[in-house]
Chain A
């Protein structure tokens, strides 16, 4: 590096001076830049702007739950034994003493009772999985309703839908691993669903399970898929997802100084980095609290899997509920002809229907473009009420999935309301058609109504009404919230250099008229 090499410093002070005003940091940057040429791009990255809106945080929840899944998952692999070999249990949990079980189940009971912090790690892993899928779904809803999937971001939407499918799949596979009574029942249902596929079903089922259910290879196979294959694919897709985000930059809501050709917000370094790193810790801490205080999947209560046993009122993890509901309310239509059977009652709700839903998700950007004929690039977001039709469709879809989810507890509802199971079933068979249509239509109408109202959607400020000594009433806006003052400023490029000299500051502080503006006040230190 020219400066450093030629100056031949002798004293410490010389060294310091030779490095320039930025000292050792400059040296590291120089050395890296010589080899990688990253000063320019790296600085652009530090200046990357993140729009300040709470809804941009949903994807972060998903990302950080995945981090927690990776960490706790690696911990679990140290103790989990993916084997269906039979053992007799003699461990820390006395009620199961002497019970026949698979090594997979035994090792999961051991993780829960014999490994230090094992139960916490297991429960954190399970909670993180539920939060992961939940955050993906809510994140996806915000992308949908604000139109963030429009050109040029269709590819990222597609990656997102794929991530959702993989997350659901890995969640199902994950809770199949402990080989307890509930997970075994889930696997049996999975096997039967594969069987229902026309032409190839029985072949596929035999290949996946290595023969008839349950066989003795399935846990081992699912294990490697669960801990290696799907997480790797998810990691790769996450990289692509975030890479595209950096390349295409964030979308933003319309607002002061915001156009299709810029991004307004706070910079990657230091503001966003501090906020998001803190948020990672918060998600981790929240999941630790959930995992430690809220019991989930107490497999020792269910007992080991035995194909002829079943526990009552079993519910799958929440993200499988809609499929379970669809299976429940499907009429028992099975076609048999020419020596073949087509089990519609399974194939439709468990294979075709989810296939249809996910394909509609994949295709949505194209479907919408077909209707709007809009091929322009969009970086400014829609407010949902400004797109009543899209909002209506989205609400209808959510209503459909919720109805199916509710239908997965037909028995619970029948017991609770003391009505016959039959009536509940018939209600849901109609409801899956009626509720989405009504909800979608209502959402569409409400959007149209909201468009006419001025000032809606703005952050409300409380009115402060005070009575003067003379008995007069005066109403005033309350003080703006912290940060609101910043909203009023004209956006500026991120400064590269900041005058840190206090001399330059001192004069302005305390005298500035700004000081009365809440939110931008500076106090001299």
Chain B
């Protein structure tokens, strides 16, 4: 340190007077008030102090204003601005005080090695190894039992922790609520008649009675589209599935399950807004673009004697995203 600073043991007595005799005196570096290390960074401390005082006053005014604004239930932005300005300026003043008007050093601190001596290290290792050794050598059986017991507990504990959190999937992921003869209804539960939709129209339909349920909304949701042709086949083998040009696909995207909610009428493409997978309505909703790996399953429809749209059966496969047990064979018909 510069001249005016000394390490004086004698000075240390002041602090540790009560037991100066029993402990070694503390090294007490002393700095004079005008040691350059103790000085402020500000070029003009007086002015800096004034500026900081103004900042803090603004802060105090803001915080007081916040109290008043809250009390008066002022508009949210007034509450926010008073609080924000109050905290920010008070903090700004404080930081500036620390930066410009407090001792800036540079000060130094020694970095003592963290590592212990070699002997200490060896003693630690010895304690671990030799104590374990003596225990295990003598009592193999008990050690094995303890390990086994804890292991079994770990497995058993999985049941209450994991298993009781939910049912097993079973075939729940393969099923929907569409059955033979289910009426298609709109979101208000109204049955859809074959004469009420225009060509090019699209709507979301649900199995009758389930339009407001979680399952109806999340799993059974289906898009119904009316295309131009009256005799319309998407894929070979599905000749009867789209009577009068009414074609229905699962609305659950095969990529990650978002509702496939956009329809490009001219191109006859269903578009998923999540990651832009596009499904061609004409050829069985085969993905034309994007990350979706499979076509949207098609719901076979028929028009009953009263003109209502109904399903011939359920979907012929699981709807929605892929999962390990999913097969490509249709097993969703229920």
A interface residue numbers (CB < 8 A to B): 1-3, 20-22, 30, 47-49, 52, 100, 116-117, 119-120, 152, 185, 188-189, 191-193, 195-203, 205-216, 247-249, 256-257, 260-267, 270-289, 291-293, 306-314, 324, 327-334, 336, 339-343, 345-346, 379, 410-411, 421-422, 425, 482-483, 485-487, 489-502, 504-505, 508-509, 512, 514, 518-523, 525
Please state if A379 and B259 are interface contacts (CB–CB under 8 Å): no
**Which residues of the other chain, B, contact A199 by a CB distance below 8 angstroms?**
324
A contacts with B: majority SS: mixed
State whether the Cβ of B228 lies closer than 8 Å to any Cβ in chain A.
no
Q: Which of B118-126, B138-146, B213-221, B301-309 contacts A (4 or more CB under 8 A)?
A: B213-221
Looking at the complex, which one of A3, A260, A342, A498 makes contact with B33 (CB distance below 8 Å)?
A: A498
Please state if B33 and A264 are interface contacts (CB–CB under 8 Å): no
Q: For A311, give the chain B residue with the smallest CB separation.
A: B273
Please state if B173 and A342 are interface contacts (CB–CB under 8 Å): no
**Which residues of the other chain, A, contact B165 by a CB distance below 8 angstroms?**
207-208, 210
Looking at the complex, which one of A191, A265, A289, A410 makes contact with B276 (CB distance below 8 Å)?
A: A410
Q: How many residues of B contact A (CB 8 A)?
A: 115
Given contacts A209-B166, A482-B41, contact A281 B87 (CB under 8 A): yes
* Least distance between A473 CB and chain B CB atoms (Å): 27
Please state if B289 and A215 are interface contacts (CB–CB under 8 Å): no
Given contacts A265-B106, A346-B256, contact A496 B173 (CB under 8 A): no
User: Measured between alpha carbons, how far is A277 from B323 in the docked complex, in Å?
Assistant: 51
How many residue pairs link A and B with beta carbons under 8 A? The number is 412
B interface residue numbers (CB < 8 A to A): 1-2, 5, 11, 14-15, 17-19, 26-46, 59, 70, 73, 76-77, 79-81, 83-100, 102-111, 114, 162-163, 165-169, 172-173, 187, 204, 206, 212, 214-215, 217-219, 221, 251, 255-259, 261-262, 273-277, 287, 289-294, 320-328
* Least distance between B155 CB and chain A CB atoms (Å): 15
**Which residues of the other chain, B, contact A195 by a CB distance below 8 angstroms?**
173, 321-323
Given contacts A152-B114, A196-B322, contact A266 B83 (CB under 8 A): no
Please state if B257 and A274 are interface contacts (CB–CB under 8 Å): no
The 7 closest A-B pairs by CB, nearest first: A292-B80, A281-B91, A285-B88, A278-B94, A274-B98, A285-B87, A278-B95
Q: For B318, give the chain A residue with the smallest CB separation.
A: A341
* Least distance between A24 CB and chain B CB atoms (Å): 15
Please state if B110 and A207 are interface contacts (CB–CB under 8 Å): no
Most chain B C-beta atoms within 10 Å of own C-beta, residue among A328, A330, A492: A492
Given contacts A47-B109, A188-B258, A247-B114, contact A495 B86 (CB under 8 A): no
Please state if B90 and A281 are interface contacts (CB–CB under 8 Å): yes
User: Measured between alpha carbons, how far is A330 from B36 in the docked complex, in Å?
Assistant: 62
Please state if B33 and A499 are interface contacts (CB–CB under 8 Å): yes
Please state if B214 and A203 are interface contacts (CB–CB under 8 Å): no
**Which residues of the other chain, B, contact A313 by a CB distance below 8 angstroms?**
273
Most chain A C-beta atoms within 10 Å of own C-beta, residue among B26, B35, B187, B326: B326
Please state if A211 and B166 are interface contacts (CB–CB under 8 Å): yes
Given contacts A185-B258, A203-B168, A312-B273, contact A493 B70 (CB under 8 A): no
* Least distance between B156 CB and chain A CB atoms (Å): 16
Given contacts A263-B111, A512-B34, contact A216 B214 (CB under 8 A): yes
Name 14 extra pairs, CB < 8 A, besides A117-B79, A332-B293, A492-B29: A202-B323, A248-B114, A266-B104, A284-B91, A289-B88, A327-B291, A345-B292, A410-B276, A425-B276, A492-B105, A496-B30, A497-B29, A498-B32, A512-B34
**Which residues of the other chain, A, contact B257 by a CB distance below 8 angstroms?**
188-189, 191-192, 213
**Which residues of the other chain, A, contact B103 by a CB distance below 8 angstroms?**
266-267, 270-271
**Which residues of the other chain, A, contact B322 by a CB distance below 8 angstroms?**
195-196, 334, 341-343, 345-346
Please state if B33 and A332 are interface contacts (CB–CB under 8 Å): no
**Which residues of the other chain, B, contact A379 by a CB distance below 8 angstroms?**
111
**Which residues of the other chain, A, contact B90 by a CB distance below 8 angstroms?**
278, 281, 285
**Which residues of the other chain, B, contact A3 by a CB distance below 8 angstroms?**
17-18
Please state if B92 and A270 are interface contacts (CB–CB under 8 Å): no
**Which residues of the other chain, A, contact B294 by a CB distance below 8 angstroms?**
334
Please state if A214 and B218 are interface contacts (CB–CB under 8 Å): yes
Please state if A496 and B29 are interface contacts (CB–CB under 8 Å): yes
Most chain B C-beta atoms within 10 Å of own C-beta, residue among A20, A152, A195, A276: A195
**Which residues of the other chain, B, contact A52 by a CB distance below 8 angstroms?**
104, 106
Looking at the complex, which one of B256, B259, B293 makes contact with A327 (CB distance below 8 Å)?
A: B256
Q: For A280, give the chain B residue with the smallest CB separation.
A: B91
Please state if B46 and A523 are interface contacts (CB–CB under 8 Å): yes
**Which residues of the other chain, B, contact A265 by a CB distance below 8 angstroms?**
105-107
Most chain B C-beta atoms within 10 Å of own C-beta, residue among A193, A270, A307: A307
